[in-house]
Amino acid sequence: MMERTLLRGSSLTLLVLSAFSALPGSAEAQAEEPLLTRAERTEWRETTRYDEVMDLVRQMVAGRPDMHLTTMGYTFEGRPIPLVVVGRVADGSPEAVRSSEKTRVYLQGGIHAGEIAGKEALLILLREMAQGMHSQWADSLVLLVAPLYNADGNERVSLLNRPRQNGPVGGMGQRPNAQDLDLNRDHLKLDAPESRALAKMFKEYDPHVAVDLHTTNGTRHGYHLTYAPPLHPATPAAVDALLRDRLLPAITQAVREKHGWEMYHFGDVRPARGDAEAGWYTFDHRGRYSNNYAGLRNRFGILGEAFAYATFEERTRISYWFVEEIVRFTHGHATEIARASAGADGQSLVGESLAVRSAFRGSSEPVTILMGEVAEELNPYSGRMMLRRTDVVAPQRMREFVSFQATETERVPPAYFLPAALGDLRIRLESHGVRTLVLEEARTQEVEEFVVDSVTTSGREYQGHFEQDVTGAYRTVTRTLEAGTVVIPMDQPLARVVFTLLEPRSDDGFAAWGFLSGSLRAGEPYPVLRGSPGSPPRLSLPPVPAGS
């Protein structure tokens, strides 16, 4: 049906309407003024603004008992971040969603607000669900849809943002939030209100699958969309295997068969340099990125990057199909996915070795990568040249580097001890949902203490921080832990997040971000200690307000 419609469609608007809603029931909806996005209304010259997103989702959920509009938190400028809950739940609250015992899928658009095809695709998906399509998904799933995450960035439209991207020619929002922070570097350190809102959403709604939609920045490859599972080597093996070996190949094949477009692991072609050989390289394993963060939470994080030089309409379409196939696969494997997450949550990591530093792992054999070509195309409104993909596809053989391996590991301790003076770090840990306890009275015990050998501080500020690299070694000593010391037991589901944030050598921890710069000196101990949480534990939870 799809192909026939595409061939027949002569006007862009008609093409779009039929591409996304050519199913029973939609004709009637179209006749009575469908809930079109600004992109559709302007023939893809413009992108949907925050107020329009809010108007659309309000209209979509009106009168639908299976769709609930709520807010996951606030942007820096105080805009409520919309979250649409779709499924057989009484309301949009975390309690209602979690008590449904369905598998939960979080879909996010617009974290980088110049990369906005995901926002348009999710609005179209929501509209279809409001029209009664995809109703079978509710059998096993609840969808949590956040079409516009970086709402402040979305409103800073300029025709000069992302000038080489193929539209929207009427401009698009900016990459960072209103504080000039890149939200896709903030998932662990949580400097931005948007990141704290997202961590709160993870903590309260606890999605099993989390999809984050972007647009590429560089390589002229032959794919319409590239993707990445969690890349950190500490990702639970069950999550890694299900995504890499099954979900991603299945959705790639489905999109190829139904629509004829190619998708593959995200990458850039890098020339040989020093010890590193030429090949297809993905980006970064660290937990600051959304997909990697979800993996460290034992969840199925998936990054999608629509190709920047496909048209805005094509990018929206491939983002839509990508999401549609992920949800379809998850619907068919809902119990297995929920069980894999729960299995990783229940498995203690104490005594195991996890990566604190990592490097690319190359494939054993060369693979075929589809390279492409682009042509210049004028944006008549900005007067600048954009790029447009052509249909040239040039297969090339090369090794790929789409996963990571540990280059340095550390053993997971039974617990960490955080001095009371580092209360800000406790708040950041708890914002992720980490369980902490407070020592009621002082006690003396054997602990592991990391003695610092050297501290190197970056000369350049990055994301509001001067990054640091700490070397040193653990030694076993007897120390008195003062009353008020925060104890973080590691037999908890977020052990990977805690380990990554608190290990001194971790490449994405508090020390790496410079949070501990005031207390790190050569020859002196790192302020966070490790050891047994105590048995019987003389611990108490912080006081709970009466009636809660």
Question: Which residues bind to Zn ion, rule: CB under 5 A?
Answer: 112, 115, 214
Give least dist CB 214 to Zn ion, A.
3
The smaller minimum CB distance to Zn ion, of residues 289 and 404, is found at 289
Is the Cβ–Cβ distance between 117 and 315 less than 8 Å? yes
Cβ distance to Zn ion smaller for residue 118 or 493: 118
* Helix axis angle, 193-205 to 423-432, nearest 10°: 50
Residue 343 is given by DSSP the state H
Backbone angles phi, psi at 238, to 5 degrees: -65, -35
Q: Closest CB to Zn ion among 134 and 162?
A: 162
Q: Please state the φ and ψ torsions of residue 144, each to the nearest 5 degrees.
A: -120, 105
CA 517 → CA 219, 307, 479, 512, distances in Å? 37, 40, 22, 9
Task: Label residue 358 left, alpha or beta by phi (over 0 means left) and psi (-120 to 50 means alpha).
Answer: beta
Rank residues 75 and 184 by Cβ distance to Zn ion and give the closer one: 184
In the complex, least distance from residue 360 CB atom to Zn ion, rounded to whole angstroms? 20
Handedness of CA 406, 411, 415, 420 (dihedral sign): negative
Distance of CA 370 to the CA centre of its chain: 25
Contact call for residues 278 and 267 (beta carbons, < 8 A): no
* Omega prior to 536 cis, within 30 of 0: yes
Do 489 and 533 touch, CB atoms closer than 8 A?
yes
Output the smallest distance, CB 286 to Zn ion, in A. 15
Q: Closer to Zn ion at the Cβ: 21 or 316?
A: 316
* Alpha carbon distances (Å) from 305 to 215, 216, 323, 330, 538: 4, 5, 11, 20, 49
When the beta carbons of 43 and 182 are compared against Zn ion, the nearer one is 182
Least distance to Zn ion, CB of residue 459, Å: 26
**Shortest separation between residue 232's beta carbon and Zn ion, angstroms:** 18
**Token representation of residue 350:** 């104490």
Residue type for 112, please? H
Closer by beta carbon to Zn ion, 114 or else 472: 114
Find the shortest distance in angstroms from Cβ 308 to Zn ion.
10
Least distance (Å) from Zn ion to the CB of residue 282?
A: 14
**Which one, 112 or 196, has the nearer CB to Zn ion?**
112
Q: How far is CA 363 from CA 118, 400, 402, in A?
A: 30, 5, 8
Nearer to Zn ion, 115 or 508 (CB): 115
| CB-count exposure of residue 532 (10 Å: 0-12, 13-18, 19+) | middle
| Residue 273 C-beta: closest distance to Zn ion, Å | 24
Q: Compute the least distance from the CB of residue 227 to Zn ion, in Å.
A: 13
Q: What is the CA radius of gyration of the chain?
A: 24
94: preceding bond cis by omega (within 30 degrees): no
